[in-house]
Each structure stands twice: as structure tokens, then as C-alpha cells.
Amino acid sequence: MEPLHPLWPLAGGALIGLSAGLYLLLAGRVAGISELAAGATGLSRRGFRPQAAIFVLGLIGGAWLAAHFVRMPEVVLPVPALPLAVAGLLVGFGSRLGSGCTSGHGVCGMARLSKRSIVATLTFMATAMVTVFIVRHGLGGF
Amino acid sequence: MRYVATLLCGLLFGIGLTVSDMINPSRVLGFLDLFGTWDPSAAFVFAGALPVSALAYWLSRQRSRPVFDEGYHLPEGNRIDRRLIGGAVIFGIGWGIAGFCPGPALVATISGQTGVFLFLGAMFLGMAIHRMTLRA
């Protein structure tokens, strides 16, 4: 895969930070996508939340806009169906059990210097890196 | 107005995930693969995001309430417990297998690939299973 010029992820990251920051300052909430995805589908503790559904629609709409007007991304999924489904189950269950994912803990929580979020982020980063190591260098890939 | 602000935040987040290429699981797996050809992109995403969201958090502490709501709804617990660690480990294994976490998986639906929908279906099933364990 082509290396990506660092300005793209830096600019994209700044937009993600701006989104999370504005969501806090305007709506008073943490922009955690696992919680928003659960709220948008009625799977959160508080059931269906229209505000979460609007965020998720905006999220997908924003990606569509960026793909058509800024930079058409490639989506390369190098994983067969069975491990992909298992991964989905683990991501869904784990993000709810651990109260957050890369956005809620990684971006929002770390910015607030929340002890829980820092521990969670270090834990899932390390676990994911070990998993990739085992899959790619232990098992030789899928 | 709160819904308009929410839509704007969603749009910005989706643009950010796409522009940064986090929408591409191969890019994310490249970041997680420390012993292959390491791809630093995701580290730059955090480097771009954290100062901005930290500044916003600091600003929020100077204001008694958000612009469009009565008060803040922030997670307040600070206990490091087995749920937090166990959840992060389970999440990390899934993230490492597919290179997808919830935000990128949702935005990747614009590619129309079957695999993305398979992942999302399983992800929502995982969330539903978690919700059922809460009731029991």
C-alpha cells in the first residue's frame, strides 16, 4: 500500500478533534462512536436516541462528501468472512463492556486525561498489536 | 439547534475519518503491525485530534453549560475494574483481526462492500448480546 503523506492524517485527525470538541461544547456529550452507534440502533442502556442516530447519519454523510469532493479512499479489507464476523462480534461486545472504543476512550477520554480512558486505550492498542503480530507473523496471515 | 449541531459534528467526524484514511482497514492494520512495514498514519491522527479536543475540554471547564443543553453529560467514574480491562482486551482482539473499530466501519459503508456490512451486522449483534447480559 502507498504510504500516506502525514498531512492527510494530521488534517483528518484535527477534524476529528474539532468534531469531538464541538460536540462537547455545543451538546455537552462525549463523541464516542460505540455509544452513538448503540444509541442509534436502540442497543444502548437508554434505548433509541434520535440525537445518536443523527450523529451516525452525519458521520456516513461526511464520509460520502469527503470521498466525492476531497479524496476518494480505498477500502481494502484483507480478512475473510469468518474472522471478519468474529471480529465484529468482539468489537461490538468489547466496546460496550469496556464503555468505549478508539473515539470515546482514545480521542475524547485521553484529551480529558481520564485515568480509565488512558488505561483502556493502552490496553486495546497493546492487545490489537499483539493480535496483528500473531495473525501476520505467527499464523502467516489469513 | 442541538440536532443541527449534532449533524455538523457527525459530518466533521466522517470527513476526518475519510481524509485521514482511517476508513481503510489495511491502513489501520499497517499501524498495528509494528513488525511489518509500519504505517504511522494513525499516530498522526491522534496527534492531530488530541490537542484540538483537549483545548475544547479546557474551554468546556470555563463554561457552566454547553451551548445547546442544560448541562454536561460526561462519564464520571474513575474506577479501573475488570469490565474496563476485559472490554478493552476483547475490543482490541477484534480491532486487530479486522482493522475496523466502530467509526471507520460505519463510514466504510460508502464503499458498498459486503464485508463491511457483515462486520457491522456482527458488531451490532455483539452490542445486543452485551445489552442482554445487562438485564440478566
Please write the tens of the pLDDT for every residue from A73-129. 999 999 999 999 999 999 999 999 999 999 999 999 999 999 999 999 999 999 999
- Phi and psi torsions of A99, nearest 5°: 60, 30
Chain B contact for A93, CB < 8 A?
Answer: yes
**What gap in Å lies between CA B22 and CA A102, rounded to an integer?**
11
Name the band, by pLDDT with cuts 50, 70 and 90, for residue B107: very high
Does the distance separating the beta carbons of B13 and A19 come in below 8 Å?
yes
Chain B contact for A75, CB < 8 A?
Answer: yes
Of B67, B91, B125, the CB nearest to A98: B91
pLDDT in tens, B66-94: 999 999 999 888 899 999 999 999 999 99
- Phi and psi torsions of B73, nearest 5°: -120, 75
Name the band, by pLDDT with cuts 50, 70 and 90, for residue A2: confident
Does the distance separating the beta carbons of A110 and B87 come in below 8 Å?
no
The pLDDT of B35-42, averaged and rounded, is: 94
B107: closest chain A residue by CA:
A60
pLDDT at B134 (0 to 100): 78
Does the distance separating the beta carbons of B95 and A128 come in below 8 Å?
yes
Does the distance separating the beta carbons of B32 and A129 come in below 8 Å?
yes
B86-98 exposure pattern, b = at least 16 Cβ within 10 A, e = fewer:
ebbbbbbbbbbbb
Asked if the model's pLDDT at residue B136 lies above 80, the reply is no
Name residues whose C-beta falls within 8 Å of residue B52's C-beta, 6 or more positions apart in sequence: A14, A17, A18, A20, A21
B22: closest chain A residue by CA:
A9
**What gap in Å lies between CA A14 and CA B50, rounded to an integer?**
8
Asked if the model's pLDDT at residue B135 lies above 80, the reply is no
Q: Which residues of B touch A102 (CB under 8 A)?
A: 95, 101-103
Does the distance separating the beta carbons of A101 and B102 come in below 8 Å?
yes
pLDDT at A91 (0 to 100): 98
Does the distance separating the beta carbons of B116 and A77 come in below 8 Å?
yes
B5-19 exposure pattern, b = at least 16 Cβ within 10 A, e = fewer:
bbbbbbbbbbbbbbb
Of B22, B59, B86, the CB nearest to A97: B86
Give the percent of chain A with pLDDT over 70.
Answer: 100
pLDDT at B76 (0 to 100): 84
Minimal CA separation from B28 to chain A, in Å:
10
Does the distance separating the beta carbons of A43 and B131 come in below 8 Å?
yes
Question: The domain containing residue B123 runs over which residues?
Answer: 2-135
* Beta-sheet strands, E only, within A14-59: none
B73 DSSP assignment: B
User: How much is the ipTM here?
Assistant: 0.96
Residue recorded with cell 498495528: B32
pLDDT at A51 (0 to 100): 97
The pLDDT of A132-142, averaged and rounded, is: 91
Domain count, chain B: 1
Contact indicator for A58, B8 with CB cutoff of 8 Å: yes
pLDDT at B89 (0 to 100): 98
Contact indicator for B120, A109 with CB cutoff of 8 Å: no
**What gap in Å lies between CA A5 and CA A128, rounded to an integer?**
24
